[in-house]
Structure 1
Amino acid sequence: MKIITCALFVFLASSIVVTGQKKVYDIATYGGLPNGDITQALIKAWKAACTGRYPGRIFIKKGKYRMGDVQLKGPCKARSIEIYSDGTIEAPGDIALMHGAPQWIRVEYVNHFTLAGHGIFDGRGPAAYHHNTCSKNVNCKMLTMNFGFSFLNNSVIRDVTSKDSKNFHVNVLGCNNIAFKNIKITAPEDSPNTDGIHIGRSNGVRIRNTQIATGDDCISLGDGSVNVLVEGVTCGPGHGISVGSVGKFKHEEPIHGLTVKNCTISNTMNGVRIKTWPAEPGTISITKMHFENILMKNVSNPVIIDQEYCPWNQCNKKIPSKVRISDVTFKNIRGTSGTKEGVTLICSAGVPCQNVKLSNVKLTYRGKQVVAKCANAMPIVKGIAPACQRARRGAAAA
């Protein structure tokens, strides 16, 4: 009986070791060496890991590398795949060498994916920013983003740095349960459209303890974003943390369940913002937005709902937005504003905002409390918060 028991124990123990193994795929074995181009090496390593029997780790050691656009696609046979990079990887500066790819590094249709390490992914944006013509041309061609994470489940991005993307740094689409932890995103303050993390049609996105400094929104939520948590983020420079813009297209999906808390926003154009287009067909709802414990440092527009969002005057503000905004809370917002109007609530004349709460909003401009400008909104005030003054702006003032 003892012999059988011992044999059974050895069998179970060996089974645990086997199922817990992680096979390492060093890109050096696929020809990916420092100071060289690792495009094909990474593609080959991914194919081997994706079709492998055990969970896989693709390893990129310290050093400088060049890499063209890559598409790393599942579904995979391996239960999980990790890319662990300690290297500095540079994209082509010439946009022609990106072959029109929407993202430089695309990871799609994978469960249990991890991107980790202390590596830097340099999009070499300054070489391409002059090609961005979106401020003059509504039909402009979008430049390549650094990362695209699409249709991933139960995945983690941690510790890496995204530098100088040509467009958005990270685009999240169709993902479920994806976490960003302790990452760094950086681009020049004047770089166009370099949003840090853009989320669309995803459920359960968590962004924690992350530093973002860009030329556009640090974090932006597109349509279909549900159950999103932003916590411990440092944002600035840039345009702040934004919901939207939405309402421009007819078949958008509702945005529901955002919590932004314990964040610091410094020297940005906006702080926390909801923005929708006027004069457009979108009729979705934006509900359950909660902003709490946020420190503003010299932010031009710390708290803002703007349902007349119309960059470069590409729309008609006289026609109200059809997007419905409700159940929005701004709580324990403190710090300094770069303008006297530290709170701006410009809602739609067609569908006024419902159940907007201001609780302990303590913002100052040159030592004095800021004022609030409101249109088509009657916020519920608790504690200290600026009282609303009537705004006179386009459709919202009608």
Structure 2
Amino acid sequence: MAVITERFQAILALVLIALLSFMAEASRHGPVEGDSGVFDVASYGAKADGESDDAMVSSNFETHAFVKAWVAACKSSGGSAKLAIPTGTYMTGPVVFQGPCKGSMTVEVQGTIKATTDVSQYSSPEWFSFENIDGLMVNGGGTFDGQGAAVWKYNDCKDSSDCQLLPASIKFTWVKNAVVHEITSLNSKAFHMHVVDCDNFKAHDLTITAPGDSPNTDGMHISRSNHVSISDSQIGTGDDCISIGQGATQVSIQNIVCGPGHGISVGSLGKYKDEKDVSGISVTGCTLKGTTNGVRIKTWPGSPPSQASSIAFEDITMDSVKNPIVIDQNYGSHKSRPSQVKISNVRYTNIKGTSLSPMAVSIVCSSDVPCTGIEMTDIDLQVEGKSSKSDSVSSSCSNAKITFGGKQNPPACDV
């Protein structure tokens, strides 16, 4: 019996030594396939040292750790994997999270990630890039801090329509079946989030913030994507809170509080050749506070032919908005000939609140392809600080076929 006990103790000791060795190895190289399915960037060498004196060395190190953790998670075969970014502050350069992966992926950001401000490190115009992934969730309550204030002075897009934009904070490309929620994007260098060539993409409970004078910091730009839903979010930027670009179809925008910024826009459209049509856009239950525009459609003159159709703006509240309702087909600097973007079937329903300018409704369509099927029902806008008398606000419409119903304040245009 004593011999058996001694052998058992010896075996137990060997097992314990092996287990401790395995754990030590895992702590150095990260979780292995088949354990908890959680891949913590700290296990791959990331240190929450975002205030390092040598930002470039720190950012390159953290970037490498983030990508190593992603590759391991993406290749794991458990059906789903989680990349965890714990609390703390991390400094990174450009990060590419690329698929396809063996299963669905979750990126849980609990900490704050800061972007390096050395723009020479960005070989392409984005900071965090999610590419070619089917099944993605990004959440965790953390923050992506683009540190844009350090580089906004280099943005020359106000003076040049052919400028090169600074990097977007987060770009989703060829991503399917995605949910992004409970994330903060702070002070992006250019666009906060760019959704392009995506399908079935949902975002909700986002906080997107940049100063009102920050250049080209669109909260979310959506292009060439289908079935996109953005809801229940606070967005305040120096540009459009949400902008709908070419090729966007079946886009739902609900319960957004927008301001500061340039409002919620379809466009600009028609700037480039071979743009795809836009259709099926719904903007409902949104509030715009102190923005330069409310709900806007904008196209470039001199554009190639395309279409923007089946667009609805419903149940919108304007709070001290400079230009509440706008269609502008003379947007931008090219004035050679009228826009060739055909706008049709646009509904404005139950839009109320205050305008900072007497011209609360401005519908300026193309003389070559006039707007058709425009409906305005129950519009009730008044100039900020004035009475609700109908003569306190006005409207202007050109090259548009519009039908009116219900309350019209300002009075309906002569069309």
Q: What is the TM-score when the length of structure 2 is the normalising length?
A: 0.86
Other-structure match for 1:174: 197
Task: Confirm or deny: 8 A CA contact 2:342 2:370 kept in the other structure.
Answer: yes
CA distance in 2, matches of 1:288, 1:138: 28
Cα distance in 2 between the residues matched to 1:21 and 1:266 = 48
For residue 77 of structure 2, what is the aligned residue in structure 1?
53
Q: 1:22 to 1:236 in 2, by over 3 A?
A: farther
Report the alpha carbon displacement of residue 320 of structure 1 after superposing the two structures with TM: 1.1
| Per-residue CA distance 1:307-352 (angstroms, 9 max, x = gap) | 1112xxx211x62111111100000000000111101111111111
Tell whether the 8 Å contact from 1:43 to 1:72 is kept in structure 2 after alignment. yes
CA gap 1:326/1:350 in 2 versus in 1, 3 angstroms: same
CA contact (8 A) 1:68 1:92 kept: yes
Mapped partners of 1:345, 1:137: distance in 2: 26
Q: What is the match of residue 31 of structure 1?
A: 45
Q: Which has the larger radius of gyration?
A: 2
Give the drift of 1:134: 1.2
In the TM superposition, what whole-angstrom CA distance separates every residue of 1:33-87 from its partner, at most 9, and x where no partner exists? 211542111100110011110110011111111111111111111x201010110
Q: Does 1:100 align with 2:123?
A: yes
Match of 1:62 among 62, 80, 87: 87
- Distance verdict in 2 for CA 1:224–1:175, change over 3 Å: same
- Counterpart pick for 2:406 among 375, 383, 389: 383
- Equivalent residue of 2:217, what SS? coil
Describe the superposition over 1:155-206 as per-residue Cα deviations: whole angstroms up to 9, x where unpaired.
Answer: 0110000000000011100000000010110001000000000000000000
CA shift at 1:94, angstroms? 2.4
Is the 1:342–1:363 contact (alpha carbons within 8 Å) kept by the matching residues of 2?
A: yes
Residue 356 of structure 1 is matched in structure 2 by: 374
Residue identity opposite 1:49 in structure 2: A
Q: Is the contact made by 2:114 and 2:145 (CA closer than 8 Å) also made in structure 1?
A: yes
**How far 1:142 sits from its partner (Å)?**
1.5
Output the CA distance in 1 between the equivalents of 2:164 and 2:309: 32
- Which amino acid in the other structure matches residue 72 of structure 1? F
Q: Cα deviation per residue 1:94-135 (whole Å; 9 max; x = unaligned)?
A: 2223x2321100000001111101101000000000000112
> In the alignment, is the contact (CA less than 8 A) between 2:349 and 2:379 conserved in 1?
yes
CA distance in 2, matches of 1:136, 1:271: 24
Kept after mapping to 1: 8 A contact 2:318/2:351: yes
Q: Give yes or no for the alignment of 1:315 onto 2:339.
A: no
The 1:339–1:22 alpha-carbon spacing in structure 2 relative to 1, beyond 3 Å, is farther
Query: Shift in Å at residue 244 of structure 1?
Result: 0.5
- Pairwise CA distance, 1:259: 0.5
CA contact (8 A) 1:196 1:218 kept: yes
* Alignment-derived partner of residue 253 in structure 1: 276
1:241 to 258, 264, 270: 264
Structure 1 stretches (4+) deviating beyond 6 angstroms? Answer: none
How far apart, in 1, do the equivalents of 2:220 and 2:66 lie? Answer: 24
Q: Deviations over 1:224-252 (max 9, x none)?
A: 00000000100000000000011122200
Counterpart of 1:289 in structure 2 is 311
- Counterparts of 2:364 and 2:41 in 1: how far apart (Å)? 53
SS in 2 for 1:209: strand
Cα displacement (A) at 1:270: 0.4
Query: For the residues of structure 1 that align with 2:85 and 2:246, how far apart are their CA atoms?
Result: 35
User: 1:74: which partner in 2?
Assistant: 99
Aligned length in residues: 365
1:224–1:253 CA contact under 8 A, matched in 2: yes
* Contact 1:278-1:319 at 8 Å conserved across structures: yes
Paired AA for residue 85 in structure 2: I
Tell me the distance in 2 between the aligned counterparts of 1:90 and 1:217.
23
SS at match of 2:286: strand
Query: Residue 250 of structure 2 is aligned with which of 203, 227, 250?
Result: 227
Coordinate RMSD, CA, aligned: 1.5
Would you say the 8 A contact 1:193–1:215 is kept in 2?
yes
Residue 137 (structure 1) shift: 2.4
How far did residue 148 of structure 1 move?
Answer: 0.5
> After superposition, where does 1:342-353 map in structure 2 within 5 Å?
342-353=360-371
CA contact under 8 A between 1:58 and 1:83: conserved in structure 2?
Answer: yes
1:367 to partner: Cα distance: 2.3
Partner of 1:267: 290
Q: Percent identity, aligned pairs only? A: 41
In structure 1, C-alpha distance between the alignment counterparts of 2:312 and 2:195, rounded to whole Å? 21
* Structure 2: distance between partners of 1:225 and 1:174: 9
Matching residue within 177, 195, 218 for 1:154 = 177
The letter for the 2-side match of 1:43 is V
| 1:94–1:127 CA contact under 8 A, matched in 2 | no
Report how far residue 388 of structure 1 moved. 4.0
> Is the Cα contact below 8 Å between 1:374 and 1:388 reproduced in 2?
no
* Counterpart residue identity of residue 94, structure 1: D
Residue number in structure 1 paired with 2:344: 326
In terms of mean alpha carbon deviation, does 364-373 or 81-90 score higher? 364-373
| Structure 1, unpaired ranges of 5+ | 1-19, 392-398
Relative distance call for 1:330 and 1:49 in structure 2 (3 A) is same
- TM-score if structure 1 supplies the norm length? 0.89
Residues 325 and 53 of structure 1: CA distance in aligned 2, closer, same or farther (over 3 Å): same
Is contact 1:73-1:109 (8 Å) kept?
Answer: yes
Residues 353 and 380, structure 2, Cα contact 8 Å, conserved in 1: yes
